[in-house]
Amino acid sequence: MSWIDQVTFDNKEEPLTEAELEHAKGFLAKPLTENEIEALEDLCRVTGEIDFRSWELPDYILPNEYIDLLKYSRSGLLRKGEREFGFFGIEEIRDYYLRYMFPEYQPGAIPIGFNGGGVFYAYDLRNIELGAPIIAVSSGALDWEDSIVLGRTLEEVFSKKTNIEDEM
């Protein structure tokens, strides 16, 4: 992964184990746990009437480039110039996906990290046969119209040094 040699890791963790990588397959489609249901019920009391029980959780598989990153570090913080990427591990992806209600507000987007300023990095998996571009979307306004494509690969995203907020 040549792009990894071009970034600075401020926080690098242990790589995922083979068992954890196996768990990563289909992790979003797993049924909601009792804790997740309770958390979503609490959120729905605040956000209004959202029928999260009707969500069809997708059986997405993360792109190979992201799996390769997790094999290098299970989560962490990296940067290149002003471009920061606090990237999520498998459990964090599911947590942010549910807690920010991506199935409701931006179905097809899978959050993979934050920029440090409230903007998600996410994969757009709506048309996986065409690829999985990486988008930037504000955590306060999940919406396809307000999202921008940062690049088609992590290498392309980190070929730039500017804060992703400057592109929005």
pLDDT in tens, 107-129: 999 999 999 999 999 999 998 88
Q: What does the angle CA 130 – CA 137 – CA 4 come to, to the nearest 5 degrees?
A: 70
Question: What sign does the dihedral 46-47-53-58 (CA atoms) show?
Answer: negative
pLDDT tens readout for residues 54-106: 998 998 889 999 999 999 999 999 999 999 999 999 999 999 999 999 999 99
Domain that holds residue 24: 2-167
Q: Which positions ≥6 away from 67 have C-beta within 8 Å?
A: 21, 24
24 versus 65: which is more confidently predicted? 65
Give the pLDDT confidence score for residue 41 in this predicted structure.
94
**Phi-psi region at 116: left, alpha or beta (left = phi > 0; alpha = psi -120 to 50):** left
Give the pLDDT confidence score for residue 23 in this predicted structure.
79
The domain total for the chain is: 1
Q: Which of the four pLDDT bands, split at 50, 70 and 90, describes residue 152? A: very high
Residue 149, pLDDT above cutoff 90: yes
- Burial string for 85-108 (b: 16+ CB within 10 Å, else e) reads bbbbbbebbbebbbebbbbbebeb
CATH number (domain holding residue 25): 3.40.1580.10
Which two tokens mark 78? 């990296």
Give the pLDDT confidence score for residue 19 in this predicted structure.
87
Share of the chain above pLDDT 90, in %: 74
Give the pLDDT confidence score for residue 113 in this predicted structure.
98
Q: Which of the four pLDDT bands, split at 50, 70 and 90, describes residue 3? A: confident
Q: Are 90 and 27 in contact (CB under 8 A)?
A: yes
How far apart are alpha carbons 126 and 40 in whole angstroms? 24
Mean of pLDDT values over 143-151: 96
How far apart are alpha carbons 106 and 112 in whole angstroms? 14
Residue 49, pLDDT above cutoff 90: no
Share of the chain above pLDDT 70, in %: 99
The residue with tokens 């690969």 is 153
Q: Which of the four pLDDT bands, split at 50, 70 and 90, describes residue 1? A: low
